[in-house]
């Protein structure tokens, strides 16, 4: 990895890609909360990237709702 690549990689951050996934499906935050059987406030925090820790159980619920792999839930920006 070059110095330029290291600098670019260091400036990126891992974010949840949930807003994109719910918009793609035409869902609301409440729809996702219902599908995952999670609290609206929790889902809202995840969608707004205000969630500092996320458990495996939550990731599993999100993957089941979106019918996706865990890596599909995240994006580097």
Q: Report, as ranges of residue numbers, the positions in the chain whose pLDDT lies below 50.
A: none
| Residue 47 forms part of a structural domain | yes
Contacts of 58 (CB under 8 A, 6+ apart): 36, 38, 42, 46
For the chain, the domain total comes to: 1
pLDDT at 37: 97
**Global pTM?**
0.81
pLDDT given at position 9: 61
Domain boundaries, position 66: 13-76
Query: Which CATH number covers residue 30?
Result: 1.10.260.40
The predicted structure's pLDDT at residue 77: 83
Residue 24 pLDDT: 96
Evaluate whether residue 2 is within a structural domain.
no
Is 3 contained in some domain? no
Pairing of strands 14-16, 74-76: antiparallel
- The confidence score (pLDDT) of residue 50 equals 87
pLDDT of residue 34: 98
What pLDDT shows up at residue 42? 94
**Is 61 domain-assigned?**
yes
């Amino acid at each position: 990895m070059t110095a330029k690549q290291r600098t670019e990689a260091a400036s990126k951050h891992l974010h949840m890609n949930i807003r994109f996934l719910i918009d793609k499906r035409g869902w609301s935050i409440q729809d996702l909360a219902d599908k995952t059987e999670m609290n609206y406030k929790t889902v809202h925090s995840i969608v707004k990237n205000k969630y500092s820790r996320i458990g495996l159980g939550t990731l599993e619920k999100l993957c089941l709702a979106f019918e996706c792999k865990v890596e599909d839930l995240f994006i580097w920006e």
